Structure 1
Amino acid sequence: MRRLNRKKTLSLVKELDAFPKVPESYVETSASGGTVSLIAFTTMALLTIMEFSVYQDTWMKYEYEVDKDFSSKLRINIDITVAMKCQYVGADVLDLAETMVASADGLVYEPTVFDLSPQQKEWQRMLQLIQSRLQEEHSLQDVIFKSAFKSTSTALPPREDDSSQSPNACRIHGHLYVNKVAGNFHITVGKAIPHPRGHAHLAALVNHESYNFSHRIDHL
């Protein structure tokens, strides 16, 4: 009885086989088939070795330590476009040490058109797609970080069309050297002027109808 039950079980398992075997008498070997098999096995072996090498790669290494150099400055790179004319806006930094970093020290005010060209819109769309994927795939982040040293600059490409539209925005780009303490970087109406208790902006001379703080951050 046990043998019969075992045979029934084996026959049932064989019937469930989704990949039935072809008898040896029906198989005919050829040189082309052997070549394709050899190429396939070689490719699979190379892919396995490459994946194992990537898995063992420890190029990314993070270390954290306390910064004891309080006297040095910290460089901040900025590239922001505000939908207002350059004569109406001012940017500066005021930290907890009551030190104001004027915008003229390292920032450039460049009149430009706020709307992006088709090529720039495509660049922005691709950059947003990459950033969204980086938040999901940490391994992809490592790959991009490694290739960033060999790739070209990721800055906003120049306009490819000769637009006759007059500049209606201001691109504030460049760098600032700030103290290693907490502070505020802000862009507001009017140019910044020093003040004994901090700083102020000449906003009274700007018409309220010119206010438009729509902005685009291309690099920060």
Structure 2
Amino acid sequence: MLRLNVSRKRALSVVKELDAFPKVVEDCKETTASGGGFSIMTFCIIMVLVLSEIEYYTSTELKFDYEVDTNFTRKIKINIDMTIAMRCAHIGADILDQTGQDVFSYGKLKEEPVYFELSPKQQEYLKFTQEVNDYLRQEYHALQDLMWRSDKPTFRGAMPPREVMKTGVPDACRVHGSLEVSKVAGNYHVTAGKSVPVIPKGHAHIAFMIEPSDYNFTHRIDHFSFGDPVTGVVYPLDGTLYVTDNNYHIFQYFIKVVPTEVRTYTNNVDTYQFAVTERNRSINHKEGSHGVPGIFVKYDLSALLIRVREEHKPYWQFLVRMCGIIGGVFCVSGMLQSLANFMYDALCCRLKVGKYGRQGSYDEAVKGLPPMSLPNEVAAAPLLNSAEERDAQDGFPLQNSGFR
């Protein structure tokens, strides 16, 4: 039993020797006003950094994975809502893709006679849509900064109805609806004349009864997208408005479509992203500018598939960063305080100010000290000139050392 107690004491002493956090007696600590100021500043900095880290790690981030799209049989939905400054009887809108399939098998868009000029409320909505798209194109160059985040406000709406109906014959045609097309490159176009099928495949637009003065492909795109509409997706063509004074004018939009699977906390859909390149010109056969007047939207699908996942940042990284912040701020503040004290002492010593100033008289130095801490005055002993006097003081009588 005694050996067990001795071994425990030895083990405890070894553990004490390994203590990396030695304790300092309170009587040996010295507190100063400068140290208190540095401590307050240090705690404030730590609090601000901790709050920022908490806000950073409570937010989510998007993960993008890229892979080859192997789903070849999937159909693509094209959502269209655009207005052309021509009568519905003078235009034809349809799609022709690389498969050469009959255009009428994809579905049919609705044609509605309307007035191209917008009401004040509709103009306000169009201007707002254009400002939103311009802002997004200028400020957000990466899609992950805006798209599909569960904590981001999103814009989604539709053209409001006209407040007061105008009188007279409508001068424009609104083409809207959805088409189910094959997953290949295609061409959506609006041109003069109704389309008729051509054997063995394809179609043609018959426009021989339309006067050249009836041509006017001034148009407005209220909405154009692929797949099911998703909250948070930016559609580049929304709010597009082109006005032309030339009857023979061609507008071309080249679109690159990328299939995208979204798996976030608020969305679980399959959609499509796309980028647009625009080009338009006047047709003049005499000057070598050939073509067919109309609106042509040529789209092509990418072979890559993008998977979007919304994830929280790992909390072990949060703990590591918190330890680094607290320890780093304490170490840096301690070094800064030591440097400040060193510079202060060096300056005071150089200028002989503060505690390094010249000492006053003894009375000024001991002023305010308790009596017990002052030394007692001792009378100075008289000087002894001879050895006999010193012996007499020690108790030996003086003797004459002469000879008889």
State the TM-score, normalized to the length of structure 1.
0.68
Structure 2 CA distance, aligned partners of 1:65 and 1:185? Answer: 28
Structure 2 letter corresponding to 1:214: T
Question: By how many angstroms is 1:187 displaced?
Answer: 0.3
Deviations 1:79-130 (A, max 9, x none): 1100001111111111111123239824110110001111111111111111
Q: 2:62 corresponds to which residue?
A: 60
Change (3 A) 1:212 1:148: farther
Q: Which moved more, 1:201-210 or 1:182-191?
A: 201-210
Say which structure, 1 or 2, has more relative contact order (CA 8 Å, 6+ apart).
Answer: 1
Decide which of 167, 171, 175 is 2:170's aligned counterpart.
167
In the other structure, the counterpart of 2:159 is 156
SS of residue in 2 equivalent to 1:79: strand
Per-residue Cα deviation, 1:34-91 (whole angstroms, up to 9, x for no partner): xxxxxxx9xx97xx94796367623434333322222221001001100001111111
Q: Give per-residue Cα distances to partners, 1:137-182, cap 9 Å, x unaligned.
A: 2399745754799867411111122222431100000011111111
Aligned to 1:209: 213
- Distance between the aligned counterparts of 1:148 and 1:81, measured in 2? 34
**CA distance in 2: counterparts of 1:208 and 1:104, whole angstroms:** 30
Label 1:210 to 1:58 Cα distance change in 2 as closer, same or farther (>3 A).
Answer: same
**1: distance between equivalents of 2:105 and 2:84?**
15
Larger radius of gyration: 2
Kindly indicate whether the alpha-carbon contact (under 8 Å) linking 2:106 and 2:180 is maintained by their aligned counterparts in 1.
no
Give the match for residue 127 of structure 1. Answer: 129
TM superposition outliers: structure 1 runs of 4+ over 6 Å: 147-152
The SS at the match of 2:126 is helix
**Aligned in 2, Cα 1:52/1:74: closer, same or farther, shift over 3 Å?**
same
Q: What secondary structure does 1:136 align onto?
A: helix
Instruction: Give the Cα–Cα distance (whole angstroms) in 2 for the partners of residues 148 and 187 of structure 1.
Output: 39
CA 1:184–1:148 in structure 2 vs 1: closer, same or farther (change >3 Å)?
farther
SS of the residue aligned with 1:93?
strand
Q: Distance in 2 between matches of 1:217 and 1:118?
A: 18
- Structure 2 residue aligned with 1:199: 203
Q: Hey, what's the Cα distance between the residues in 2 that align with 1:163 and 1:103? A: 36
- Name the amino acid aligned to 1:188: T
Consecutive unaligned residues in structure 1, runs of 5 or more: 1-40
Identity of aligned residues (%): 43
Q: Which letter maps to 1:164?
A: T
Aligned residue number for residue 95 of structure 1? 97
Q: Say whether the 8 Å CA contact 2:106–2:179 is kept in structure 1.
A: no
Answer whether contact 1:91 1:103 (CA < 8 A) is retained: no
How do residues 17-36 of structure 1 correspond to structure 2 at under 5 angstroms?
Answer: none
Matched, 1:185 2:188: yes
Take 2:187 and 2:53, find their aligned partners in 1: how far apart are those partners?
Answer: 46
Q: Do 1:91 and 1:102's aligned partners in 2 also have CA atoms closer than 8 Å?
A: no
In structure 2, relative to structure 1, the CA distance for the partners of 1:50 and 1:178 (3 Å cut) is farther
Which amino acid letter does the alignment assign opposite residue 157 of structure 2?
T
1:117 alignment partner AA = S
Say whether the 8 Å CA contact 1:117–1:159 is kept in structure 2. yes
**TM-score, reference length from structure 2:** 0.39
CA distance in 2, matches of 1:83, 1:149: 37
